[in-house]
């Protein structure tokens, strides 16, 4: 049987190692070596794939957690939107009861896109009187503009030092000094929705006007109207008094739009600084 001679020469050495192997043994050893090399390559490839998949799964897990968190946040936002819509529907219901106009947040596709239908629904019979009027213009028409009392402006819609303490507080209306018993008049057409005794403002009259406006008249002594009465702009509603916490006879006049205090002067009233209102 033929044999194969294998010679090994170490680097930097003149000594030669040689040995003989039978052909069958040589083939077997070659196949084993190739098998080891192939197996090693396979192991390296699989290990690299394992590392890659592990990092990929870690990234996907982090992304999944982020999506779950975003989903929970979206659910909270959706619940808040539903709550806000419910509160808006409740507010619209209250406004509808006060002004006697049916108002609803449910609209059809035609109502959402047909401006004339939208204007007719919210402005109503006013469209018969005007060829065109914008919602903003109509809102301005409903703004209380009449100065309710002749007198001296002592405090405006701004921060001020409390007359009872040294604390700096925001004053949500206009104080108009006038003699006790002077006539107070309605700032705009509306309905008397409340008359009550308040610890601070004394006897207070609340008049509701269109489009969410409410005017408030504080420190009155005598009230001419009752809850539910309709009033016209400039109509007498009461008299200046010293009820509640006050340093003297005056009217606290306040305007609210959808329960938010607004500056009476910006809303339309023009009051000269520290001068007599005529």
Considering the domain architecture, whether residues 128 and 158 belong to the same structural domain is answered as no
Considering the domain architecture, whether residues 138 and 156 belong to the same structural domain is answered as no
Residue 89 lies in a domain: no
- Structurally, how many domains does the chain consist of? 3
Domain that holds residue 138: 109-142
pLDDT tens digit sequence for 125-169? 443 333 333 444 445 555 677 788 888 888 888 888 888 887 888
Considering the domain architecture, whether residues 119 and 156 belong to the same structural domain is answered as no
Residue 68 lies in a domain: no
At residue 137, the pLDDT reads 47
Residue 274 lies in a domain: no
Considering the domain architecture, whether residues 263 and 167 belong to the same structural domain is answered as yes
DSSP the chain: --EEEEEE--TT----EEEEEEHHHHHHHHHHHHHHHHHHHHHHHHHHHHHHHHHHHHHHHHHHHHHHHHHHHHHHHHHHHHHHHHHHHHHHHHHHHHHT----S---HHHHH-HHHHHHHHHTTHHHH-S---HHHHHHHHS--S----SEEEE-SEEEE-SSSS-EEEE-SEEEE--TT-EEE-SSSEEEEEEEEETTTEEEEEEE-GGGEEEEEEEEEEE---TT-EE-TT-EEEEEB--SS-SSSEEEEEEEETTEEE-HHHHT----TTSB--
Residue 272 lies in a domain: no
Considering the domain architecture, whether residues 200 and 252 belong to the same structural domain is answered as yes
Reading the block at residue 193, the tokens are 């929705």
Q: Of 59, 81, 97, which residue is a domain's last?
A: 59
pLDDT tens digit sequence for 241-266? 999 999 899 999 999 888 888 888 76
At residue 100, the pLDDT reads 52
Considering the domain architecture, whether residues 224 and 133 belong to the same structural domain is answered as no
Considering the domain architecture, whether residues 138 and 157 belong to the same structural domain is answered as no
Are 240 and 181 in contact by the 8 Å Cβ rule? The answer is yes
Are 111 and 121 in contact by the 8 Å Cβ rule? The answer is yes
Residue 28 lies in a domain: yes
| pTM greater than 0.75 (yes/no) | no
Considering the domain architecture, whether residues 133 and 190 belong to the same structural domain is answered as no
- How far is it, in rounded angstroms, from Cα 161 to Cα 229? 37
Considering the domain architecture, whether residues 116 and 211 belong to the same structural domain is answered as no
At residue 141, the pLDDT reads 52
CATH number of the domain where residue 162 is located: 2.70.70.10
Residue 202 lies in a domain: yes
At residue 241, the pLDDT reads 95
Q: Of 142, 166, 189, which residue is a domain's last?
A: 142
Residue 229 lies in a domain: yes
Considering the domain architecture, whether residues 255 and 156 belong to the same structural domain is answered as yes
Considering the domain architecture, whether residues 166 and 227 belong to the same structural domain is answered as yes
At residue 114, the pLDDT reads 41
At residue 164, the pLDDT reads 83
Considering the domain architecture, whether residues 161 and 196 belong to the same structural domain is answered as yes
- How far is it, in rounded angstroms, from Cα 98 to Cα 130? 24
How do the pLDDT tens digits run along the chain, 278 residues long? 567 777 777 777 777 777 777 777 778 888 888 989 998 888 888 888 888 888 888 887 887 778 778 888 888 888 888 887 777 777 776 666 655 545 454 444 333 334 344 334 433 444 333 333 344 444 555 567 778 888 888 888 888 888 888 788 899 999 999 999 999 999 888 899 999 999 999 999 999 987 788 999 999 999 999 999 999 888 999 999 999 999 899 999 999 888 888 888 765 554 443 333 33
Residue 29 lies in a domain: yes
């Amino acid at each position: 049987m033929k044999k194969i001679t294998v010679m090994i020469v170490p680097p930097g050495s003149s000594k030669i190692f040689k040995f003989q192997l039978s052909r069958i043994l040589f083939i077997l050893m070659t196949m084993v070596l190739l098998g080891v090399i192939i197996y090693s390559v396979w192991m390296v490839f699989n290990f690299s794939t394992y590392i890659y998949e592990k990092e990929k799964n870690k990234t996907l897990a982090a992304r999944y957690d982020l999506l779950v968190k975003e989903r929970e946040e979206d659910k909270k936002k959706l619940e808040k939107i539903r709550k806000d819509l419910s509160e808006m529907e409740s507010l619209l219901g209250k406004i509808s009861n006060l002004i006697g106009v049916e108002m609803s947040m449910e609209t059809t596709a035609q109502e959402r896109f047909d401006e004339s239908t939208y204007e007719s629904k919210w402005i109503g019979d006013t469209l018969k009187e005007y060829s065109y009027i914008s919602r903003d213009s109509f809102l301005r028409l409903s703004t209380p503009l009449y100065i309710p009392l002749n007198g001296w402006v002592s405090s405006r819609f701004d921060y001020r030092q409390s007359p009872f303490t040294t604390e700096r507080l925001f004053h949500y209306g206009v104080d108009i000094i006038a003699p006790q018993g002077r006539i107070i008049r309605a700032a705009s057409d509306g309905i008397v929705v409340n008359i009550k005794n308040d610890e601070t403002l004394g006897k207070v009259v609340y008049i509701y006007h269109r489009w969410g406006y409410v005017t408030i008249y504080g420190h009155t002594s005598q009230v001419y109207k009752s809850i539910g009465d309709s009033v016209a702009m400039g109509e007498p509603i009461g008299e200046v008094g010293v009820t509640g916490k006050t340093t003297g006879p005056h009217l606290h006049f306040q305007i609210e739009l959808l329960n938010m205090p607004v500056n009476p002067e910006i809303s339309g009233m023009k009051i000269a600084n520290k001068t007599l209102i005529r």
